[in-house]
Amino acid sequence: MVGRDDDGGRPENAAEFRTELAASAAQRLRGFAWLLLILHAGLLLHDFWTSPAAVGTPERRWQAHLFTLHLWMLGACTLALAAFHWSSSREAKGRVAYWLTAFFLGWGGVLAGVDQLIGAGITIYLAVHLGAALFVTFELVPALSGFAVGLVAFIGAEIVLAPTPAVAFSQAVNGAGFALCCAIFSRMLYATKVRDFVQRRTIARQHTELVATNERLEAERARSDHLLRAALPPRIVERLQRGETPIADAHTGLVILWADLCKFTQLASSLPPDELVVLLDELFSRFDAVVQRAGLEKIKTVGDGYLAVAGIPLPTDADAVAAAEAAAGLHVAVAEMATHHQRDLLLRVGIARGEVAAGVLGRDRLLYDLWGDAVNVATRLETAAAPGETLVTADVARLLARTHELGPTITLDVKGKGAMLVHSVGARKAASRTPT
């Protein structure tokens, strides 16, 4: 987290802030060094071509000092640019920038003293210090030490070159006041940079947190959507996401398939819970694949019971064939599981056709279910079927007559329905098989 220390003078992550200051100082001083290098190269040429003043005059002394100062500036800028070029880190470049700034302040102080020979050099001194305060920012100790260098150089030059002690004292007092003002201004800019740094890092952190939160929300939404689609049919999920409520539909001509394992109670009592759950999970996963391939829609599982339906949203006569194919696939899946797990597993299946009501129940734990006479009949047929057998109602049998082998007509006493004619479904007829 980015913030401020108790003294309010430095961000908590001071190393990063210091590196940023160093990079900024190096970038500005490098360009300024190039400017001064070109400028003082021209000034040196001017010094060579300018006729010297008369010997012993203040102008002659002024020219000599300026020539020396121009040479020093040219050399310092050359060395600084070479150091900027060869420095491999921001910290090293920042140190070069600091020493170059201290040189500029000292150089400006000496130049201001030299200018006392012919004019008011305090203006140059003030300009150099204001420039340093405005364009280059360092921490407290480096900044104050740099301004101290400039002040000492200025006072020394005034003592040596001022025409009278009174002028030297007056200018030294003025220089000290200017240096103090520039130092204060520098600290104000430093505080502004700290505040800007903290704000930028805070915004960056908040942006990162916001992105992470959005990613978590998106992942959670995707996970919830996946779980919802795993528990409910996709068409129902889409209606729920559109805000439709309540969801209640009436369907006619649906083909209902109900499958149930034989002797499941005995099997459950003989297996540890974890093994039983693994077995059922693998079995129902196979059932899901079979039902999906046949074009049916899984509705729910209840214990070892499995309910699926064909004909939503548009029922056709081919739904009965799809349900019979799904039933055959379920029997095959159970047989394979029995062989693999060395268990006595057999399945009973009942298939009926008719009108049903469908809808979503619950608020926190949603359940999509079917109700109606066809569902009850399919359940009764499954209960009456022999292990490994599929029983269908007479109307379903008529739809399967051309495609599947059917057993003889059986009169079955169905609870709540009385006597019903049913058939067992065998293999698909060879003439109706789709070539592979």
Strands 390-393 and 305-310: unpaired
CB 187 within 8 A of CB 10: no
Nearest alpha carbon to residue 15 among 78, 94, 99, 113:
94
434 — pLDDT class (breaks 50, 70, 90): low
Is the pLDDT score of 403 beyond 90? yes
Superfamily for the 247-432 domain: Nucleotide cyclase, GGDEF domain (3.30.70.1230)
Structure-block tokens of residue 25: 């100082």
Structure-block tokens of residue 108: 């400006």
Is the pLDDT score of 118 beyond 60? no
383 — pLDDT class (breaks 50, 70, 90): very high
Kindly report whether the global pTM for this prediction surpasses the value 0.85.
no
The mean pLDDT of the chain is: 85
Query: Phi first, then psi: what are they for 363, rounded to 5°?
Result: -120, -50
Give the Cα separation of 321 and 429 in Å (integer): 12
The residue with tokens 């949603």 is 366
Q: Give SS3 for 425.
A: strand
Structure-block tokens of residue 360: 């979503």
In this prediction, residues 77-100 reach a mean pLDDT of 88
Query: Phi first, then psi: what are they for 292, rounded to 5°?
Result: -65, -40
12 — pLDDT class (breaks 50, 70, 90): low
For 366, left (φ over 0), alpha (ψ -120 to 50), or beta? beta
Of the candidate ranges 117-126, 260-269, 397-406, the one whose mean pLDDT is the lowest: 117-126
Query: What radius of gyration do the chain's Cα atoms show?
Result: 47
7-to-4, 54, 143 alpha-carbon distances in Å: 8, 58, 18
117 — pLDDT class (breaks 50, 70, 90): low
Give the Cα separation of 64 and 67 in Å (integer): 5
7 — pLDDT class (breaks 50, 70, 90): very low
Strands 390-393 and 347-361: parallel
In this prediction, residues 373-388 reach a mean pLDDT of 93
In this prediction, residues 279-287 reach a mean pLDDT of 92
Is the pLDDT score of 360 beyond 50? yes
CB 298 within 8 A of CB 257: no
Give the Cα separation of 424 and 127 in Å (integer): 106
Nearest alpha carbon to residue 327 among 388, 399, 282:
388
Amino acid at 82: A
CB 95 within 8 A of CB 130: no
Is the pLDDT score of 21 beyond 50? yes
CB 298 within 8 A of CB 288: yes
Chain segment 27-82, per-residue pLDDT in tens: 888 888 899 899 888 888 888 887 777 777 767 777 788 888 889 989 999 999 99
191 — pLDDT class (breaks 50, 70, 90): confident
Residues 6+ apart with CB under 8 A from 118: 58, 59, 62
Chain segment 329-350, per-residue pLDDT in tens: 999 999 999 998 888 889 999 9
Q: Give SS3 for 57.
A: coil
Give the Cα separation of 319 and 381 in Å (integer): 18
Give the Cα separation of 236 and 370 in Å (integer): 13
Structure-block tokens of residue 325: 């194919």
Is the pLDDT score of 146 beyond 80? yes
Angle, helices 318-341 vs 273-294, to 10°: value is 150
Number of C-alpha atoms within 13 angstroms, CB side, residue 427? 5
Give the Cα separation of 370 and 360 in Å (integer): 9
In this prediction, residues 349-356 reach a mean pLDDT of 94
CB 222 within 8 A of CB 214: no
Bridge partners (DSSP) listed for residue 305: 260, 302
Is the pLDDT score of 432 beyond 70? no
Structure-block tokens of residue 111: 């130049």
**Domain limits, the chain:** 14-209, 247-432
Q: Say which residue, 5 or 377, is predicted with more confidence.
A: 377
Q: Say which residue, 119 or 198, is predicted with more confidence.
A: 198
CB 390 within 8 A of CB 327: yes
Q: Can you give the pLDDT at residue 268? A: 84
Is the pLDDT score of 3 beyond 50? no
CB 147 within 8 A of CB 129: yes
Q: Does a cis peptide bond (omega within 30 degrees of 0) precede residue 246?
A: yes
Residues 6+ apart with CB under 8 A from 246: 359, 360
Structure-block tokens of residue 406: 């059917």
Query: Phi first, then psi: what are they for 396, rounded to 5°?
Result: -70, -40
